[in-house]
Amino acid sequence: SEWKVIKEPTYRSVGVERQTCRGCGIYKEREIPMIVVPVEKIIITPGEDFKIYCKKTDRLQATVVPDEAMFSAKIVWESSNPKVVSVSDDGTIKALRRGTATITAKTEDGKVSDSINVTVEYSTIQWIIVYILFGWIWYL
């Protein structure tokens, strides 16, 4: 017999269709792939460039537009300068040394992306430590 849809697919879950034998009543089922909503835009939060102190961590959020696309979209994070700022798969950044890096969140296929610049600076106490440890070198 014909395949009959038992559960419609959505953008959150797969669907199911069933084919039943008219003679014996045995049936087989197969999945209908979930609806894939393409990502139109990625927005990184915070939405503007920012500063972070050396050795600190922070978490960036990537929001996809439209909302339904978040169920099928995989976001890939990358840093333009991983020696200055590293970024993990969940958007957690770690400031490793002074400098600037561009953090990019993009779809797996690379077609849609958003970026922000992160500047890593020393805090006042970090500057004091650097001066105490290495300041004497300037006087040689």
Considering the domain architecture, whether residues 62 and 116 belong to the same structural domain is answered as yes
What is the edge-to-edge ordering of all strands in the sheet holding 27-32? Answer: 4-7, 15-20, 27-32
Per-residue pLDDT at 45 exceeds 80: yes
Report which of residues 112 and 138 the model is more confident about: 112
Considering the domain architecture, whether residues 78 and 9 belong to the same structural domain is answered as no
Between the CA of residue 5 and those of 28, 37, 77, what are the distances in Å?
12, 21, 38
For 12, the domain range is: 1-35
- CATH number for 81: 2.60.40.1080
Residue 38 pLDDT level (bands cut at 50, 70, 90): confident
pTM over 0.95, yes/no: no
End-to-end CA distance of the chain: 91
What residues contact residue 95 under an 8 Å CB cut-off, 6+ apart? 52, 53, 54, 55, 56, 57, 84, 85, 118, 120
Considering the domain architecture, whether residues 86 and 47 belong to the same structural domain is answered as yes
Phi, psi dihedral angles at 93 (to 5 degrees): -105, 150
